Structure 1
Amino acid sequence: MYVIVGGMLEVPPDHAARMSYAWKVCSVTSLGLILIGVAGSTLNVALPTVVRHFSADPFQSNWILLSFLLVNTASLVFFGRIADLLGRREVYLLGFALFTVASLLAGLSPNVWFLVAMRMLQAVGAAMILANGTVIITDAFPPERLSQGMGVYIGTMSVAQLTGPTLGGLIAETAGWQWIFWVNVPAGLIALTWGAITLRRMPRGPKQPVDALGNALVFAALSAVLLALSEAGSRGLSSPIVPVGVAVFVVLAPLIVLVERRASHPVLDPRLFGGRMLACANLASFCNAIARASLILVVALYFQAARGVDAFAAGLSVLPVPVGMALASPVAGSVGRRVSPYALAIGGSLMSAAGLGTLMLTTDPATPYWIIGIGLFVAGCGSGTFLTGNTTQVMAALPAGSLGVVNGFRLMIMNVGIVLSVGLSLSVLAGSVGPELGAQVYAATLSELSPVAVDLLMDGFRRTYGVLFGVALTGALMAALARARRG
């Protein structure tokens, strides 16, 4: 907003003060994304080092990653509601503290299951941060400048993913796997201190009960389907846990719908997403998360397991993905003042699909790296553009009341996609070589075995990229259907 003074445009003092505070808030929330993004992307590259240290089998290897994603996903809406009740600033800062303590303890893990438990504790802290960061930044920025703030906010996730793979590979090769977690401790203390200094108290939402039963059922349903996916990949479809997990999910899904319809304040409130625009935009976000989330993990495994490079070299190899996101997100945020978020979301989805299609055709170990790099870069640009456009589109359309729980639901939908992406990709990949050689994939030692095993793995990578490509195209269709109706 501007006023004319003496024939010149000037920014009103209150507007300038609000923008100054908004950018400080953006720096705090961006630190949160960096902390969580670095923690995830370092482990994605360094996973083989951790697996070899603990001599983890494929099932345990899966759950080093999936435990965090599962707990984080199931608790996002819960902490969105808790923040509405107890105060968004307080819950947000507590998330920093909990994530930092859990990172310290994870580096002290005596065995793989203690590490899994600490990953779950990290996930609770991350849920407190993620469920509130987008709401805090939406409240701080004026509506006409929100796309700029959101572009920088989403762009910092790209910075985290840019730093994380290289950092994870370097740590794994030099300092030891423990420092993959301990590097979060000083970063967490800095974020906690800066957040406590910067963030103002926000008005609390209405005191409404937490849907504990709904949260428990969602957690149980996701656990069941993830167990089934994990078992299918590590021990094959013949494992009895696969049909049991699927059966439990099939039983719980309609039960969740029934319970949520009767709950006074449900964790999954269909009324908040009844319109076509919000429904399709969130389905597009779900598809993009499936197509995007496991990409760095899969590519890092490709270079280590198929081409036999070390963790540091693999970390460098995946950099085109976060570089693309880091460049595209702020550009999309700036362009968003002239181009609709709807158009950005569609364009980003199509770019993601194009990048994955390129990767699907270039899994041969003899393929020149620059061709693979182009595919990775285009996929990264697509994700950065989509996330900026889609997030702006959805947040601008949400009702002001209960913004925390609705945003938590939005993030939960995205995180369900992330959980399924990792579980599905690892299952397709490990299933291509069979249960006997599956452990060699996670430990990144398969390239030391026979050429036949490597050929089987290449087929697995083609199938994995093919699945992600199909999901990305579906996301583009959902984004196209998310146009708001003109009244």
Structure 2
Amino acid sequence: MARVPYHWRVLSVVTLGSLMTGVNASTLNVALPVVVRHFEAGALAAHWVLLSFMLTNTVLLVLCGRLADVFGRRETYMLGYGVFTVASLLLGLAPGVGALIALRMVQAAGFAMILANATAIITHSFPPHLLSQGIGLYISTISVSQVLGPSVGGFLADAAGWRWVFWFNVPFGIAAICWGAVTLRKVPRGDREPVDVRGALLLLCWLGGLLLALSEAGALGWGSPLVLAGVLAFALGLPLFWWAQRRTAHPLIDLGLFADPGFSLANAAAFLHTLARFGIVLVAALFFQGVRGVDAATAGLAVLPVPIAMMVASPLAGTLARWVGPRTVAVAGPAMTAAGLATLLLTLDAGTPYPVVAAGLALMGAGSGVFLTGNTTAIMARVPRDRLGVVNGMRLTLQNVGNTLGVAMALSLIASAVDRADRPALFTGAAPEGTVAGYQRAMAVMLVMALLSMAAAVAGLVATRRAPS
């Protein structure tokens, strides 16, 4: 039997890692009410069980991508598996919600090492004419993990307890370490440039402040000292970060890349699309548990149309991108996402038949799969191989900022429609008066973001076609 080509074996390693990490992310979205009830956590702690992971991951992505370019992509990737697996084991032993949040940050560091290198490793190993298919299959695997995640999370939380939401990662992590060790080859390293630690700290300052303000403004009001402190950190940290990046010889984010309109617009479209889509599984899971009164396992099954549609659409988009170009494919994604959000916005209430809700969720999932495959291929295809890690990390950082802001924005909008005293109940699966209006507000803002993403994708397509060859 002919030996399987190296690029397909690499894809098998990367997809195993994406299955493990992707399932982990979506299990907690569904199991969050169970975890919050166990620790008797307040609304602030409930926010940061999710947001601490996203913030840490976002800050470290570019850093991990650059470290991989300099010190070895294979080594950094494998270290990420180890950190993620050990943190998952310790999370199941967390004695309190504070320890849980701290360990989620450690787990996020391992996740950043994995995520920053996954697409870069695929891009480095695949021949150019097969790259869109490789990325489409990779994104499809992420979708499979999102199919499994809600069901696994709901089942484990209800049947085995919240600790197994984290412990189930451990055997998969060990398997990923073993398979990666025997499969991945060493990748040539880039120049040993210094790491921009100052840039990473400034990114943490302004992004953390923005997240704190957005996540707590709905519950505490914009005049709260905690919210004002977050706004101040954002207002001071962002210009300092921009100034520092322009003046350092080896910046965390190479702002010169954004001089290319196609690159800038593709990343802008990705950021906006992430704002539109990322919070939907969390919002829908909370809606089904709070408004419809179902348990975590049933809520996990109810949100399956999103990842199933994404799983089907991603490889199809990868094949289509070989014929019509990835940017053309990317334009169709936000249009489908917007159609799904519009369906949900117009029909979402306690009495809406489930097939209608499922149709809206499926349209969103298909749009995400189409967009991510086309847009990611468009960004990565022309990147020099010795810069794949840092550019992929920068791409993912922008998207993760959208991920984190999307969740914070959705939670804040939902809470804003509920009396302040009743807001903590939202995260335990209850439905105070005004809850449905809060979900509708979140859907409306997501729809606007999807339309803006479509506009940016169209502009990127036009700019690329007008650029000289």
TM-score (norm 2): 0.97
After superposition, the C-alpha distances for 1:408-452 in whole angstroms (9 at most, x for unaligned) are 111101110001001111111112103211111000122xxxxxx
Amino acid at match of 2:453: G
- Which residue is equivalent to 1:159? 144
Aligned partners of 1:131 and 1:372: how far apart in 2? Answer: 34
Choose from 383, 390, 415 the match for 2:400.
415
Structure 1: how far apart are the matches of 2:296 and 2:221?
28
Matches within 5 A, 1:350-369: 350-369=335-354
Residues paired across the two proteins, number: 465
Name which of 21, 40, 43 aligns with 2:25: 40
Q: How does 1:235-246 map to 2 (within 5 A)?
A: 235-246=220-231
Which residue identity does 1:463 align to in structure 2? Answer: R
Instruction: Extract unaligned runs of 5+ from structure 1.
Output: 1-15, 447-452
How far the C-alpha of 1:236 sits from its partner, in A, is: 2.8
Aligned to 1:86: 71
State whether structure 2 residue 86 is matched by structure 1 residue 101.
Answer: yes
Shift of residue 344, structure 1, vs aligned partner: 1.0
Correspondence for 1:117 = 102
Instruction: Tell me if the contact between 2:338 and 2:451 (Cα under 8 Å) persists in the aligned partners.
Output: yes
Give the alignment partner of residue 181 of structure 1, picking from 159, 166, 180. 166
Encode CA deviations 1:7-34: one digit per residue, 9 max, x unaligned. Answer: xxxxxxxxx86x7111110011111211
Indicate whether 1:471 and 2:449 are aligned: yes
What's the offset of the Cα at 1:197? 0.8
In structure 2, distance between residues paired with 1:208 and 1:237:
42
Query: Alpha-carbon deviation of 1:272?
Result: 1.6
- Indicate the SS of the match to 1:412: helix
1:437 alignment partner AA: D
Q: RMSD of the alignment, in Å?
A: 1.3
Task: Quote the residue 2:40 is aligned against.
Answer: 55
- Identical counterparts, % of pairs: 50
CA displacement, residues 315-368 of structure 1 (integer Å, 9 cap, x when unaligned): 010000001100000111122221211111100110011101111112211110
Does 2:445 align with 1:460? no
Q: Which residue, 260, 282, 291 being the options, matches 1:306?
A: 291
Q: Contact (CA 8 Å) 1:229, 1:427: kept in 2 or not?
A: yes
- Aligned AA for 2:441? R
Who is 2:193 aligned against?
Answer: 208
Is 1:248 matched up with 2:226? no
Where do 1:291-302 residues align within 5 Å? 291-302=276-287
Is residue 228 from structure 1 mapped to residue 213 from structure 2 by the alignment?
yes
What is the rounded CA distance, in whole Å, between the counterparts of 1:364 and 1:26 in structure 2?
42
How does 1:120-131 map onto structure 2 within 5 Å? 120-131=105-116
Q: Per-residue deviation at 1:233?
A: 2.7
The residue aligned with 1:321 is: 306
CA distance in 2, matches of 1:429, 1:486: 47
CA shift, 1:399, in A, is: 3.1
The equivalent residue for 2:391 is 406
- Residue in structure 2 matched with residue 385 of structure 1 by the alignment: 370
Distance 1:258 1:173 in 2: 49
- Any idea what SS the aligned residue of 2:223 has? coil
* TM-fit CA distance, 1:403: 1.9
1:288 matched to which residue of 2?
273
1:420-459 aligned within 5 A: 420-446=405-431, 453-454=432-433, 456-459=434-437
Structure with greater Cα Rg: 1
* 8 Å CA contact 1:54, 1:111 repeated in 2: yes
Kindly indicate whether the alpha-carbon contact (under 8 Å) linking 1:236 and 1:431 is maintained by their aligned counterparts in 2.
no
* Deviation (angstroms), 1:398: 2.1
**Corresponding position of 1:480:** 458
In the aligned structure 2, how far is the partner of 1:377 from the partner of 1:475? 19
2:309 maps to a residue whose letter is G
Could you list the per-position Cα deviations for residues 83-114 of structure 1 after superposition, in whole angstroms to 9, with x for gaps in the alignment? Answer: 11211000000000000000000010100010
